[in-house]
Amino acid sequence: MSDDHFMVDGTLIEAWASLKSFRPKGEKALERPTDGDPGNPTVDFHGEKRSNKTHESTTDPESRLMRKSRGKEAKLCYGAHFLMENRNGLLMDLQITPATGTAEEEAAEAMLKRQAHKRIRPRTLGADKGYDTKGFVSMLRGRKITPHVAQNTERRGGSAIDGRTTRHGGYEISQRIRKRVEEIGGWIKVIGGFRKTRYKGELRTQLAGWFVGAAYNLLRMAKLLPQMEAG
């Protein structure tokens, strides 16, 4: 593997909990009518404001209410974050976090620190527009990693990526390779069956994620070995 160029991305994994379980914190189960079916009651949330600050799931309190983008329905989720090595497309790290909205940047930094402990220090790190923030770009430059982050010119205050990065040909190459890490997210959901976790809690979901990530790498290596032998 190369330790020069890496890519980071994130997605949402549905929690093993329904929206009916998302109740005000401290509420007792008997405070809501069960309409004669306590196992699956009819719940009317019309007119009720719900947020992660005031509510939590009684089934999986570590899950968070989150929507992928505007116009999408909110679901109870965890965040899944990937670190990929560019040359062979191998998954270097997979981290599960609560879906907080800022977890992508925090998880990326945590995964880079784990690689540093193994003496792997990337020269560049690619990412999509969601990572184009001053804090994240400054963190990468502080670690002497060139930020190959896609520019978000619509962000208030403009993009944190400037000509120091975009003028080099490697930046454009990273943008083309970026779809590979997105394919990892698609694979673990569609093929790996990890669109929705079967476990409650962050630690159990993390363990399941490692198994799915290992399966992805095994299949990826099986495809790479004949190419290496031919070379």
CA distance 145 to 60: 37
CB-CB contact of 206 with 96 (8 Å): yes
Reported confidence tier of residue 141, pLDDT bands at 50, 70, 90: very high
Percent residues over pLDDT 90 in the chain: 68
pLDDT at res. 154: 85
CB-CB contact of 104 with 149 (8 Å): no
CA distance 123 to 66: 33
* 101-137 residue pLDDT tens: 889 999 999 999 999 999 999 999 999 999 999 999 9
Reported confidence tier of residue 231, pLDDT bands at 50, 70, 90: low
Name the architecture of domain 5-13+77-230.
Answer: 2-Layer Sandwich (3.30)
**Interval 195-216 mean pLDDT:** 97
230 pLDDT more than 80: no
CA distance 58 to 32: 13
Average per-residue pLDDT for the chain: 89
* 146-170 residue pLDDT tens: 999 999 988 888 899 988 899 989 9
Identify the CA nearest to 18 among candidates 200, 155, 202, 159.
200
> What's the pTM?
0.86
**Interval 28-43 mean pLDDT:** 58
CB-CB contact of 92 with 6 (8 Å): yes
Spatial neighbors of 92 by CB under 8 A, at least 6 apart, are 6, 83, 84, 85, 111, 115, 120
CA distance 5 to 85: 6
Percent residues over pLDDT 70 in the chain: 89
**Interval 169-193 mean pLDDT:** 93
CB-CB contact of 80 with 212 (8 Å): no
* 8-22 residue pLDDT tens: 999 999 999 988 889
